[in-house]
Amino acid sequence: MALHGKTILLAWELGEGLGHLPALKAIALAAKAEGAKPVFALRDTMLTRAALAEIEAPVLAAPFWPTPALPKDASGSYADILAGNGFGSAANARAMITAWDQLFDTVKPDLIVCEHAPGAALAAFGRIPAAFVGNGFVVPPADADVFPRYDEGRGEPQPQQPSVLAAVQEALRDLGREAPRAITEPFRGAFRGVFTFPELDMYRGRRREAVQGPIESVPPLSPLPAQRRLFAYSAADAALAGEIAHALMDFGPAAQAYFRGRLGARAAVMRSRGVTIYDSAPQLGEILPQASAVFSHGGSGFTHAAFAAGRPHIVYPRHYEAQATARALEAMGAGIVLASFEAQRFREAVERAHDPAMRDAAQKAGATAQAFAAKAAPLETTMAALRALFR
């Protein structure tokens, strides 16, 4: 088999939560079954270990810039992520690339799979084949010389991106390496897997490559129950976790929730008010059919599942990526964006989520998602492309 004996480094460098793991885990399992040796380089090496235990692969710490900061003159594009995470100056870029180089020298990978790992991508350029996987945000279009704007009409991509390119070029040349001619060149890769639904891709209408669909399985479309039942998916360390918990208590037995992390005594208080609290993540295929509406922060994994299940979705985004996803849901009439979290606004959003028009829109969106998922084969497509690299 083409992958037999090959070492594959699966890298995740930027972003919070564990939503960056499913793609890397699925590829690692499939590659190992074909005789490859997977090695992980991850931003979080603690919370990820349990999720990856079955693979029995090394888990190393990924280099990442310790003090990220958006540039003053933002371009409104993926180049801002680079500028704010170590690639805004040649000196910093050289340090980041050197850190990844040292990891490469240790692992000696034949291939690198990047899931929001731009430092790994830039260090691999001209040295090791790289594949890019993830949702639409982390795999931006790279066919032009500059990254496209996140939002049409907002930001000026051209002024900012040449300075990031110049920093990367200088850093690589200082290291005696080939330098890219365009900022997007290191991100074109040997394969690009955009693992989302077309309707949720933030570059929809501008992306020329195919969207593969979610690599994780999604629950089936199910009818919305007549009885109101809200399911909330949040995190114990969310900035407004206390306010979210308090707001959910107003719904009593009509609310169910899972908070990633430890809620502590707050969980007992919520249960005393009738709210069902899950201590570990419930199976979404079991919980979503019971829900008449859902609330989350717009993470891609949960959003894919709720979208495919046909659930009206209230989103309080914690970062721009989730904000873009929430706006896409809202544009379809299947979601509501909370710009700020206040108990009264949340109650109003729950009321709106149960309007017949929104229920109908969510179900129609779910039917569209199911039709796309039935034809998509993201893992099979990915593995075929990776095998082709070694034939």
SS3 string of 84-152? HHHHCCHHHHHHHHHHHHHHHHHHCCCEEEEECCHHHHHHHCCCCCEEEEECCCCCCCCCCCCCCECCC
Tally of structural domains, the chain: 2
Q: Do 175 and 86 fall within a single domain? A: yes
Q: Do 199 and 346 fall within a single domain? A: no
Predicted confidence at residue 47, as pLDDT, reads 84
Q: Do 204 and 266 fall within a single domain? A: no
Reported as a single tens digit per residue, the pLDDT across 33-51 is 999 999 999 999 998 988 9
- In angstroms, what is the C-alpha Rg of the chain? 21
Q: Which residues contact 173 (CB under 8 A, 6 or more apart)?
A: 179
Q: Do 73 and 199 fall within a single domain? A: yes
Q: Is 180 exposed, middle or buried (0-12, 13-18, 19+ CB in 10 A)?
A: middle
Residue 83 is given by DSSP the state: I
Predicted confidence at residue 278, as pLDDT, reads 96
Rounded-to-10 torsion of CA 111, 114, 117, 122:
40
* 317: in domain: yes
Q: Residue 377 and residue 279: Cα distance in Å, rounded?
A: 33
* CB burial readout 80-105, b (16+ within 10 A) else e: bbbbbbbbbbbebbbebbebbbebbe
* 224: in domain: no
* 2: in domain: no
**Which positions of the chain have pLDDT values less than 70?**
153-159
SS3 string of 298-351? CCHHHHHHHHHHCCCEEECCCCHHHHHHHHHHHHCCCEEECCCCCHHHHHHHHH
* 222: in domain: no
* 219: in domain: no
Predicted confidence at residue 185, as pLDDT, reads 98
Q: Do 235 and 356 fall within a single domain? A: yes
Query: Is residue 194 within 8 Å of 207, Cβ to Cβ?
Result: yes
Q: List the strands of the sheet with 276-278, edge to edge.
A: 276-278, 255-260, 230-235, 293-296, 313-315, 335-337
According to DSSP, the residues that pair with 8 across neighbouring strands are: 38, 111
For CA atoms 340, 280, 369, 214, give the dihedral sign. positive
Reported as a single tens digit per residue, the pLDDT across 170-179 is 999 999 999 9
Q: In angstroms, how far is the first alpha carbon of the chain from the final one?
A: 9
Residue 37 is given by DSSP the state: E
Domain CATH for 326: 3.40.50.2000
* 79: in domain: yes
Q: Do 14 and 147 fall within a single domain? A: yes
According to DSSP, the residues that pair with 235 across neighbouring strands are: 260
Task: Find the domain containing 246 and state its range.
Answer: 230-374
Q: Do 268 and 355 fall within a single domain? A: yes
Q: Do 137 and 254 fall within a single domain? A: no
Predicted confidence at residue 173, as pLDDT, reads 98
Predicted confidence at residue 153, as pLDDT, reads 64
* DSSP H/E element including 158: helix 157-174
Q: How far is CA 332 from CA 137, 169, 242, 388, in A?
A: 19, 42, 30, 38
Q: Do 160 and 185 fall within a single domain? A: yes
Q: Do 247 and 131 fall within a single domain? A: no
Q: Do 382 and 292 fall within a single domain? A: no
* 338: in domain: yes
* 325: in domain: yes
Which residue is it, tokens 């003159």?
73
Q: Do 149 and 256 fall within a single domain? A: no
